[in-house]
Amino acid sequence: MNNCQHQINAIINEVKKAVIGKDQMIIKVLLAILCKGHILIEDIPGVGKTTLALAFSKALSLEHNRMQFTPDVLPSDVTGFSVYNKQTNNFEFRKGVAFCNLFLADEINRTSSKTQSALLELMEEKSITVDGNTYRLPQPYTVIATQNPIGSAGTHNLPDSQLDRFMIKLSMGYPDFRGEISILKSKFNANPLDAVRPVANADTILELQEYISDIYIDDRIYEYIVSLSAATRNHPMLKLGISPRGTLALMQISKGIAAAMGRDYVIPDDVAYICADVFAHRFMLSSKAKLSETSAENIAADIIRNVPAPSISSKG
């Protein structure tokens, strides 16, 4: 086990103390963070979305802020604003809630489109521009956003341009029978979050990000990733396929999967494992898909099945 894999496992084990029975979810969220991506979690209230984000903030020793997005939240609440100081006769910038390392945007689809769009620059550029001045966000920087299922009371669809900026979209889902019993027992005497201890910090995350960015990808893997994206653009069930940003996201997080498995090179299984989580939320379904009630996840699975994977089991 190399040092990168050891550190990844240590973080996962800490988060598992607070988030029970969701090991695959924990792994995917961590790898998105280590691949400089943002995470969208869609699910019903009460399944542990916020607990997951808080557990990561503790295990990673990251400065975190949380905002509950409601219809009256303004863009300036997120980004910050300038106020006039009479004593200095100058405008001073007051930072918004997004200035942190880990920003938990809770129920993001309950707020207005204008406020949702305030997140576009900070997610893409890792900076915020107010009154012509640009302010860099702390590094590392990750947004973990949650949203209620579309159609729930008071929800609005996120713009496609914003969905495209989330590296992956996940769903917590209900715990299984034994998992829910474990949750009840863990809550009996204390808050499980109290058991999570810091095992990394911002410098650790930056080092892991740099290590993962250097993971080797064979030309045949590049071709495989692009072939998967190209298949979405010609699929009869899709009105809109994957953008180059989505292709790049798949490449980046595939490197993270390889690192978590203790390899310094990517294999096709790494790509296939995470592909649906990267692709599905970026799809725009055709009328045919909606009429037949075909889900984006099923279409992604169909594409992964039908695009031939190269035979690569070692580096070089």
In CATH, what number is assigned to the domain containing residue 65?
A: 3.40.50.300
Residue 281 belongs to some domain of the structure: yes
Q: Which of 243, 241, 228 is nearest to 284 (CA)?
A: 241
Strands 142-147 and 39-42: parallel
Which residue among 206, 226, 254 closes a domain? 206
Judge whether 91 lies within some domain.
no
Does residue 82 lie within any of the structural domains? no
Domain end among 180, 206, 232: 206
Whether residues 57 and 128 fall in one domain: yes
**Residue 316, pLDDT score:** 65
Q: State pLDDT tens for residues 204-260.
A: 999 999 999 999 999 999 999 999 999 999 899 999 899 999 999 999 999 999 999
Total tally of structural domains belonging to the chain: 2
Within a domain: residue 117?
yes
Share of the chain above pLDDT 70, in %: 96
Mark whether 130 and 187 lie in a shared domain.
yes
Q: What percent of the chain has pLDDT over 90?
A: 60
Q: Are residues 196 and 227 in the same domain?
A: no
Sign for the CA dihedral angle at 245, 264, 270, 40 comes to negative
Q: What is the pLDDT of residues 155-185, one digit of tens each?
A: 778 888 889 999 999 988 787 888 788 878 7
Task: For residues 87 and 302, give the distance between their C-alpha atoms in angstroms, rounded to a whole number.
Answer: 64
Same domain, 285 and 190: no
* Per-residue pLDDT tens over the stretch 73-127: 999 999 999 888 888 888 888 999 999 999 999 888 888 888 888 888 899 999 9
Q: What is the mean pLDDT of the chain?
A: 90
275's tokens:
């592909």
CATH number at residue 283: 1.10.8.80
- Considering the domain architecture, whether residues 220 and 201 belong to the same structural domain is answered as no
pLDDT band of residue 43 (cuts 50, 70, 90) is confident
Residues 54 and 151 in one domain: yes
Which of 161, 187, 206 lies at the terminal end of a domain, its last residue? 206
Residues 42 and 145 both lie in one domain: yes
What tokens appear for 54 in the block? 């808080």
Peptide bond into 140 cis (omega under 30): yes
Q: Whole-model pTM?
A: 0.91
Q: Are residues 234 and 296 in the same domain?
A: yes
**Cα within 13 Å of Cα(262), Cβ side:** 4
Domain that holds residue 280: 215-306
Let me know whether 60 and 141 are in one domain.
yes
Contact 274, 24 (CB under 8 A): no
* Domain shared by 243 and 160, yes or no: no
Do 147 and 34 have their domain in common? Answer: yes
